[in-house]
Chain A
Amino acid sequence: MSGRFARILRRPEVGAAVAALLIFSYFSSTTTAFLSTAGVSTWLYSSSLFGVLAVVGALLMIGGEFDLSVGAMTGTTGLIVGIMTTQYGINIWLSLVVALAFALSVGAANAYISMKTGVPSFIVTLAALFILQGANLAITKLLTGTVSIQGMSDVENYDTVKLLFGSTLNIGGMDIKISIVWWFLVTAVASWVLLRTRTGNWIFGVGGAINSARQVGIPVVKVRMGLFMATSAAGWLVGMLQLFGVSTVQATTGLGQEFSYVICAVVGGCLLTGGYGSAIGAAVGALIYGMTLQGIVFAEWDNNWLKFFLGVLLLLAVMVNLYVRRGAGDRS
């Protein structure tokens, strides 16, 4: 009995699920807006944008690496599509593909540099973050004279693409943004890959003990390269969800969000040191982020409390994870 109970507690998602439940109960009982259909769709939408990044970023973290540049990447990809279509009249589908190709090549470059030189990916992607953020603003100003993209909705085929990335479904009287569907889809696929495929086994192996992984013949470089590229692709997806969700993009998109997906993943049970974590946990972490972000607005608190609260949550999560790791007998 106690053994089974302990095992359930040790699952990486459980702590986050309990926290999510507490936050949900708190805001639903203290504010009226939180549980209204409009309220629910608002915090689900917020969560979904963090969630896609958090879930794919969690796979990367389980594989033992970081990518801080992915938040800025959401801005960069949105700007690429926005500028190509509105300024140069280039076909929107082609622009989407170019933006994706750009994201994938930045992911590959991050992976290549950090693996070739041995410089921690934390530093390499921090550099990438600054490069992208700077370029986002400077190039957008240079080409458009402003810091945001206007006139997106006049672009040919805009409505077709909006169906994919920016539409709203009405389910049971509730407005469900399509990004929420993407979030669930990405979480399901990521969780399946992680737990039920060979690739998932390799991700755990590479993040948990890289030398052992090499010795048993896992293609370590390929696994990490794939993870970095997947993370950048997730940045592209979120970039598109934002661009087509609101029909505009600011050159400052992603500013200050470098760590938010890392926080979601860690709150969801990922170890900062790699080798342990869960995709569903990261999705729950993003749910906590989204609920808190909107709940604080509904409760009419000063929204600076969000960062305060996230800091506390992160600290708690790291302590719980540390305890779990010791309990799991990691003696290395």
Chain B
Amino acid sequence: MTTIVQALNVGKSYGTVLAISGISAEIVAGEVLCILGDNGAGKSTLIKILSGVHTPSEGVLKVYGEERTFESPRDALDAGIATVYQDLAVVPLMPVWRNFFLGSELRKGWGIFKRLDTAAMRRITKEQLSEMGISLRNVEQPIGTLSGGERQAVAIARAVYFGAQAIILDEPTSALGVKQASIVLTYIAKARDRGLGVVFITHNPNHAYPVGDRFLLLKLGKSIGYFAKKELTIEKMTALMAGSDEMTNLAQKLERKPGSRTTSKS
């Protein structure tokens, strides 16, 4: 398996505030790297480093073994690393195919007669979506009519079509119900099977565990563990994430005390 991106002891400080430090992880082709952590754990800072929004203040990024510094998101995109943010960068009222090519439209003709190649764009959208396992009756429908999971898939398919080898998915399941979340997980697996390196950011171990190959657990800006799947069970992951002390404390606090039971009688 090829390692697409390798982060070595990466850290970022904003002024004197250390957001993250000493993080190492690999994005490998055909594998899913899950990054887990609570709010404020440093997930978004790490994404911003991987996607070229921030340059790390310590450590290095290697792309295909070569040391690289991303100056902008464009640099990361050119290196084949695409990021799908939570709002998906879609325009709800526009047709699926127009959304698919928004900002990178295909054109034909010359001079002032240069125009959209609508037939090709419709066809490619249809093809790319069906490779992700979505068959739309018609790519003419506004993207806002698709379900949350399908919209996620369109955004993934778009990133793949425009040359992404690694895609970073920022909390793609957090706003979704159980059913839609499981659809998104299926698409993540599909993207993985197509040979992409997938970074899946979430705070939900139940979403991460079934689909992940490697797990990076973050807490307060530090790595609290980087595991291959076989080294980890979902129980251990949950415990690590919550912090076992805190969990024990919480369990004690929530326990019913004998005698304090209040059962309503009707």
Contacts and interface: CB of A to CB of B under 8 A. Distances in A.
Interface in A309-332: 325, 328-332
Contact of B92 (A200, A208, A213, A218): A208
B91 interface: yes
A216 B146 CA distance: 20
Interface residues of A, number: 26
B64 interface: no
A276 interface: yes
B116 A209 contact: no
Given A197-B115, A198-B105, A212 B93 contact: no
Nearest to B137: A3
B103 A204 contact: no
A10 B209 CA distance: 44
B115 A212 contact: no
A257 interface: no
Interface residues of B, number: 25
B107 interface: yes
Contacts of A276: 93
A285 interface: no
A332 B104 contact: no
A275 B95 CA distance: 12
Interface stretch (B35-43, B82-90, B239-247): B82-90
A209 B103 CA distance: 13
A217 B116 CA distance: 17
Contacts of A208: 91-94
Interface in A239-282: 275-276
Contact of B118 (A196, A204, A209, A215): A196
A235 interface: no
Interface in A130-153: none
B118 A328 contact: no
A329 B144 contact: yes
A281 to B, nearest CB: 15
Contacts of A198: 105, 107, 114, 116
A216 B102 contact: yes
A217 B78 CA distance: 14
Nearest to B116: A196
B145 interface: yes
Contacts of B101: 201
B51 to A, nearest CB: 11
Contacts of B92: 208-209, 328-332
B87 A211 contact: yes
Interface string A193-236: 00011101110110011011101111000000000000000000
B112 to A, nearest CB: 10
Contacts of A196: 115-116, 118
A332 B144 contact: yes
B142 interface: yes
Contacts of B94: 201, 204-205, 208, 275
A213 B105 CA distance: 13
Contacts of B12: none
Interface string B64-97: 0000000000000000000001011111111000
5 contacts: A201-B102, A209-B90, A216-B103, A330-B92, A332-B92
Interface of B: 85, 87-94, 98, 101-105, 107, 114-116, 118, 141-142, 144-146
A-B complex: 7 closest residue pairs judged by Cβ atoms: A216-B103, A329-B145, A208-B91, A215-B89, A329-B144, A209-B91, A212-B89
Interface of A: 192, 196-198, 200-202, 204-205, 208-209, 211-213, 215-218, 275-276, 325, 328-332
